[in-house]
Amino acid sequence: MFKLVLYALLGLCATPALGQVVAGPRVAYYDPRERLTPAFATLADTAGRPRYLVLRGPVKAISAPAPGWLRIQRGHNSVLVATRQLVKLPDLIALPLDASTGRVTFTAVLAADSLGMNDLAARSYAWLKEQLGPVEVDSPRPDTLVMSSYTWMPMDLLNSSGHITAFQLWYTLRLTLTPGQLQYEISRFSRAAEPSPERPTPRLVPLEKLLKPGRELNPVSGPGIRQNQLRQQVQLTAAELLETLQDAVWQPVSGS
């Protein structure tokens, strides 16, 4: 009988997660298509003539004094703005964070009671060759396989040529084998720009550095959307690799 125990891919982890929703001021993002935003000091003023502000970045909504209105922070003061003038910053996708390493880490255990170490190793190597191609596999211990690889990650970012830019999402995969059980771990995510003649080996930037609190509020990243694209791609990469590994491990044993 085969069993699967998921620890992190379903978000059921006891460790802190990057992107968890926490209590605090709601955050709204100004729609850059509106160059001038009408604002008021009080609700009573909304029946009169507004003052116009230019909002060039994300703003914090500190309260909602009436339906359809938000009070936002503007320097040392606050003003009322109609909610229709603002676009809500999307909630960030949570990623599991290993408390001991501080890295985004997905883990799962595939239990296959009828498989011994030799069978598990053979299936693991066959899976690696099929999924990742000729990657270099390090084996620090007889029961451990470690390798690094990458997948292409398109993102809605225009480069100087006006094309959508693709990034490389690097990761380290660790498989730990025991009789009848295989532990899957994927971590050390990094992102690199698309190689070019000027930069054939782009610099790797650790995922955790890209997802530092506050970076999702960068207007250049377009209200948190690119952050969520990156987070979603990390989730999909971890889940898709696990799914194909599961299929490889759970193939019917010959003669059973």
Dmax (CA) for the chain in angstroms is 83
Q: Domain 2-21+92-249: which CATH class?
A: alpha beta
Low-confidence ranges of the chain (pLDDT < 70): 1-35, 56-58, 89-90, 156-164, 213-226, 252-256
Point out which residues pair with 114 in neighbouring strands.
Answer: none
pTM for the full predicted model: 0.67
Domain ranges of the chain: 2-21+92-249, 26-88
**Which phi and psi angles does 238 have, rounded to 5°?**
-65, -40
Question: What's the pLDDT at 184?
Answer: 94
Question: What's the pLDDT at 5?
Answer: 39
28-66 residue pLDDT tens: 555 555 568 889 999 999 999 999 888 766 677 888 899
Fold match between domain 2-21+92-249 and domain 26-88? no
What type of residue sits at position 91?
Answer: D
Task: State the alpha helices, DSSP H only, in 80-164.
Answer: 117-132
Residues 6+ apart with CB under 8 A from 223: 29, 58, 87, 89, 90
Distance CA 146, CA 172 (A): 7
Q: How many CB atoms lie within 10 A of CB 164?
A: 10
Q: Which CATH architecture has domain 26-88?
A: Roll (2.30)
Residues 6+ apart with CB under 8 A from 160: none
Distance CA 53, CA 75 (A): 12
